[in-house]
Homo-oligomer: A and B are copies of this chain.
Amino acid sequence: MHYFTVGPSQLYPIVPRVIKKALSDGITSVSHRDEVYITLQKELVHNLKSLLTIPKSYSIFFLSSGTEAMERIIQNTVTSHSHHLVNGSFSDRFYQTALELGKSPTKTEVTIGESFDWNSLHIPSNTELLCATHNETSTGVMIPLNKLYQLKMNNPNLLIALDTVSSMPYADVDFSKIDMTFFSVQKGFGMPAGLGVIIVSPQALKYSSGSYHSFNSLKQYADKNQTPETPNVLGIHVLNEVVKDMLKEGITSIRHDIETKSDLIAAFVKSSQSYTFLAQDPLVRSKTIHVLKTRGGSSSLIRRLVKKGFLVSSGYSSMKNDYIRIATFPSHELKMVKKLLQHL
C-alpha cells in the first residue's frame, strides 16, 4: 500500500532499515542516562539545527506529540491571554487547549478554506502569546510566514507560537521571529508516531510553569542532552537518521521536490471536472496537504483507490464524506504521485 494519508503516512524510505538495525544494535535497550543516549540526543539537536537553520541559542525539546506541544506552550507561557488565528480544526484545538487550561483566550476566526485578512487583523493589546497554524491539516490552508514575522517586528514583546505539524521540514521558518515552533514526526519526517519536537527561543524560555515538562525542567535536562522522563529513545534515534539523510539530500532539494509534487496535483485539479480545492486561493494553498472536494463523495473513491494500492485520507470531521486529503511529504515519490493522479 502507498500511504498518501496526511499522517501517520508513508514511511521515509530508510526508516524500516534503520529500525531493524537499531533492534540488532540494542538501541531499544539503551538507558536514557547513558553516554550512548547523550551522544545521540546531542547529535540530533545539532543535525536538526543544521537542517532547519535554527539559531544556536534556541533550545530543542522532545515531547510525545504535537497535541502535547500545544498544551505545554500554553501551560508554560500564558498567564491569561493567548490569541489564536483559527482557520480549521487544529488551530481551534490550540484555542480549546487554552480554554481547558483555564486561560481567557481570544481568537480571530475565518471561514474554512480561507486565510486571514492580515491588514485588518486585530490582536488584543493584552495578548501574551499569539498562536498560529502554519499549515491547517483539516483544510489545506498554509498561511504566509512573513505576515507573522511582521507582527513580531511590530510587537517584539509578543510571543509567537507556530504549529508546523504537517508542514515541517517544508516550512522555511525564520526562527529569529518565532518563539515556539513545533512539529510531530509522523508527517513530514515519515516516521512512526509517538514523538513531538518543539523549538524554543531564549525569549520564551524566560517563562516556565508545570512539572516535568515545564520549560525549566526541559531546559535543565536538555543542557545535559537528556530528557526529564524516559523518552521514546527509538523514535529519537530514527529521527536522527532521517534528519541525517535529509541533510545529505539537502533541504533546498527536499523543498523543491515537495513543490513539484504539489504543483502536479494543482495542475491535475485545474484540468479536472471532478475535483476542486477547498482552499480556492492558490496563494494560501498548502504545498503538503491537498484538500479536494470530490464529485460523488469520498468513500467510494477511497475504496477504489485502495484496490489500486493507494490510501488517501478522507476529509476532516464534517468534511469526511465529501472531501479527500492527499499529502506530499518527502517520503512520497514523484512517480507514485503521478500514478495516484492517474487513478483519481
Contacts and interface: CB of A to CB of B under 8 A. Distances in A.
Interface of A: 1, 3, 5, 7-11, 15-16, 19-20, 23-24, 26, 28-32, 64-68, 70-71, 74, 96-97, 100-101, 184, 186, 191-195, 210-214, 217, 228-235, 311, 313
A26 B2 CA distance: 9
Contacts of A231: 65, 193-194
A229 B233 CA distance: 19
Given A68-B212, A212-B68, A193 B313 contact: no
Given A23-B19, A101-B210, A193 B32 contact: yes
Contact of A233 (B8, B64, B74): B8
Contacts of A16: 23-24
B5 A211 contact: no
Contacts of A232: 64, 192-194, 232, 235
Number of copies: 2
A212 B31 contact: no
A260 B30 CA distance: 26
A154 to B, nearest CB: 30
Chain A contact surface mostly = loop
A321 to B, nearest CB: 14
A230 B10 contact: no
A7 B230 contact: yes
Contacts of A191: 28
Contacts of A1: 26, 29
Given A71-B212, A97-B211, A211-B71, A65 B29 contact: no
A97 B212 CA distance: 7
Contact of A194 (B101, B186, B214, B234): B234
Contacts of A68: 64, 212, 229
A87 to B, nearest CB: 20
Given A8-B28, A68-B229, A71-B212, A234 B192 contact: yes
Contacts of A233: 8, 192-194
B31 A11 contact: no
A193 B3 contact: no
A230 B71 CA distance: 14
B23 A8 contact: no
A211 B3 contact: no
Contacts of A64: 64-65, 68, 194, 229, 232
